[in-house]
Amino acid sequence: MVRRDDALTPTGSAFFTSGGEVSYVKGLQCRECGREVDLGAVHVCEFCFGPLEVVYDYDAVARDVTREAIAAGPLSIWRYAPLLPVLPGSDPSQRVDLGAGFTPLVPAPRLGEALGLEDLWLKNDTVNPSFSFKDRVVSVALSAARSLGFDTAACASTGNLAHSVAAHAARAGMRAFVFIPADLEEAKVLATAVYGADVVAVKGSYDDVNRLCAEVAGEHGWAFVNVNVRPYYAEGSKTLGFEIAEQLGWTLPDHVVAPMASGSMLVKIDKAFGELVKVGLVDDKPWKVSGAQASGCAPIATALKDGSGVVKPVRPDTVAKSLAIGDPADGYYALDAVRRTGGWMEDVSDAELVDAIELLARTEGIFGETAAGVTIAVLRKLVAQGRIEPSERTVAVVSGMGLKTLPVVADRVGPTFEITPSLDDFESALTLKEQS
Amino acid sequence: MTATVRIPTPLRTVTGGKATVTVDGSTVREVVKNLDAAHPGLGERVLDDNGEVRRFVNVFVDDEDIRFASGLDTPVRDGATVSIIPAVAGG
């Protein structure tokens, strides 16, 4: 629970309730045409279909919120509640919270040495409650959904979101429907179903599943975290940026490399840095964001690299299923953020990403899933291309846990030798191993 | 050629609440033009000032994304289903 009384001094135009919950949310606004929309379970502008974004009263946040107040908050994403879509009138006891966020930001000297970076850090989001960064967005989305009166959660997912929605819905006592491509990794399917969610396996790609969900959302009164409550959901990824800055002693890094599926995470990390500057929590300085995709599904990176700036949908073909979104909704905004900050985008083969999973595990003791492999492999590429200078303070986002995608390493690692339970056998095997 | 057009929730204010509308047209371009004639205002919601499909609007003919076919010139067979769907985020 956020310690509101300590954390905030009520002033200005922020909204208050009898329970002490504070909201700095002013409403929703279309990112494309600027039309303003009332708060509710609505995700697209009725006029141009552009995505709706939460608007905050930044003046009030700047006036009320201090580094000390945030430091006194919970060790979770909710320490940044003033910059999250806490809806006016919401009951803090109804927040859907498994403790997502405030994950370790660790220096990575051994990986840095392998890649040629002197000041590399890893944001280790494998340790979230359902083992991926999706817990950040889901906690925010379902808290907003509850405030809006929903009792059923739903999502279209490439796996990690399904896992997280199922877990958070269970925590909140909400019913959950999760729609996934039928060919998803078994670990993700089982780890979702175990929470009691209704798992709907759809014979098709993620983009097919997403389209179905857009239509189902129109017919059923459910909170689809990535459809009708998406404006709130997407804001949760900002907490990656907030945490990176706070954990670097309230300074901004020089460069962040993030995986891209829809492109939303990268966009929101960039937005978070901008907000921290705007409300005076960090000093302004240049930062770059760079995006990572798998070559088998790289519509955003391709749009940057071919100079067209047009995100053309693709049919994904990669083992990085958590990034296999062929029609990325935030692709244009990711392009904008990367171009504006001077970052870059790259894509890597499945072989490169699996190599990078092993490299990350062996150098830093962090076992990431395929998306993490994509990020580290792209990081390596960007350094090799000279797009990241060795001295830049660089943060790579490790967004999910490797146990979710074990099959990609199954034919590369395993027992070193198999023996009978005898010391002689062991010594012989060890000698053979040392000689090889 | 007659097609059934599935209208997403945000656009139903223009169709008087109807979830499906039947219109003539042998291409997506004609279908959208006839939709706008039947329900004025619908065209500008789907197409931008240059007459192209807005970048956050996805159009499908019988479950095929028209960006994988011929865009607005994608043929529409008699009895086809045309779906207009807002782009959604993912994960």
Pick the residue of A31, A38, A44 with the most B CBs within 10 A to test the interface with B by mutation.
Answer: A44
In which residue are the tokens 């908050």 written? Answer: A73
- Chain B hits for A51, Cβ within 8 Å: 56, 87, 89
- List the one residue out of A163, A100, A107 whose CA is nearest residue A127: A100
Assess contact for A282 and A251: CB atoms under 8 A: yes
For A107, the token pair is 């220096």
> Which of B63, B68, B88 faces A329 most closely, judged by CB atoms?
B88
If residue A15 lies in a helix (H) or strand (E), which one and from where to where? strand A15-16
The reported pLDDT for the residue numbered A2 is 32
CA angle, A172 then A176 then A181, to 5°: 140
- Chain A hits for B19, Cβ within 8 Å: 218
Domain A134-234 classification at class level: alpha beta
In which residue are the tokens 């269970």 written? Answer: A170
The reported pLDDT for the residue numbered A91 is 84
> Which of A45, A160, A332 faces B91 most closely, judged by CB atoms?
A160
Concatenate the DSSP letters of all residues of A90-146 into one string: --GGG---S------EEE-HHHHHHHT-SSEEEEEGGGSTTSBTHHHHHHHHHHHHH
Q: Is domain B2-86 in CATH 1.10.1740.10, yes or no?
A: no
pTM (two decimals): 0.92
User: Is A214 in Cβ contact with B8 (below 8 Å)?
Assistant: yes
Helix (H, G, I), strand (E, B) or coil at A185: coil
- The letter for the amino acid at A337 is A
End-to-end CA distance of chain A: 56
Q: Three-state secondary structure along A274-308?
A: HHHHHCCCCCCCCCEEEEEEECCECHHHHHHHCCC
Assess contact for A62 and A278: CB atoms under 8 A: yes
Is any Cβ of chain B less than 8 angstroms from the Cβ of A205? Answer: no
The reported pLDDT for the residue numbered A436 is 82
Alpha-carbon distance of A39 to B32, in angstroms, equals 30
The reported pLDDT for the residue numbered A8 is 34
Encode pLDDT of A197-247 as tens digits. Answer: 999 999 998 888 988 888 888 789 899 998 889 999 999 999 999 999 999
For chain A, residues with pLDDT lower than 50 are: 1-13, 16-18
Alpha-carbon distance of B31 to B72, in angstroms, equals 9
Strands, E assignment, A352-415: 394-398
Instruction: Check if A105-131+237-410 and A134-234 are the same fold.
Output: yes
Give buried/exposed letters for A298-310 (b at 16+ CB in 10 A, else e). Answer: bbbbbbbeeeeee
Alpha-carbon distance of A21 to A86, in angstroms, equals 8
Assess contact for A110 and A118: CB atoms under 8 A: no
- Chain A hits for B11, Cβ within 8 Å: 46
Helix (H, G, I), strand (E, B) or coil at A434: helix
The reported pLDDT for the residue numbered A11 is 36
The pairing of strands B81-86 and B57-61 is antiparallel
- Chain B hits for A234, Cβ within 8 Å: 89
User: Is A211 in Cβ contact with B85 (below 8 Å)?
Assistant: yes
Q: What is the DSSP letter of B7?
A: P
Residue B91 has pLDDT above 60, yes or no: no
- Chain A hits for B83, Cβ within 8 Å: 211, 215
We find that the CATH architecture of domain A105-131+237-410 is 3-Layer(aba) Sandwich (3.40)
C-alpha atoms less than 13 angstroms from C-alpha of B78 in its C-beta half-sphere: 1
- Chain A hits for B6, Cβ within 8 Å: 215
User: Is B54 in Cβ contact with A214 (below 8 Å)?
Assistant: no
The reported pLDDT for the residue numbered B90 is 60
Instruction: Give A288's strand partners.
Output: A255
Interval B44-66 mean pLDDT:
90
For A277, the token pair is 């500057």
Hey, where are the domains in chain A?
1-95, 105-131+237-410, 134-234
Q: Kindly report the length of chain B.
A: 91
The complex scores an ipTM of 0.81
- Average pLDDT of chain A to the nearest whole number: 92
Contacts for A420 with CB less than 8 Å, ≥ 6 apart: none
Alpha-carbon distance of A163 to A129, in angstroms, equals 10
Encode pLDDT of B15-44 as tens digits. Answer: 999 999 999 999 999 999 999 999 999 999
Task: Mark out chain B residues that contact chain A at CB-CB < 8 A.
Answer: 6, 8-11, 13, 19, 45, 48, 54-58, 60, 63, 65, 67-68, 83, 85-91
Hey, where are the domains in chain B?
2-86
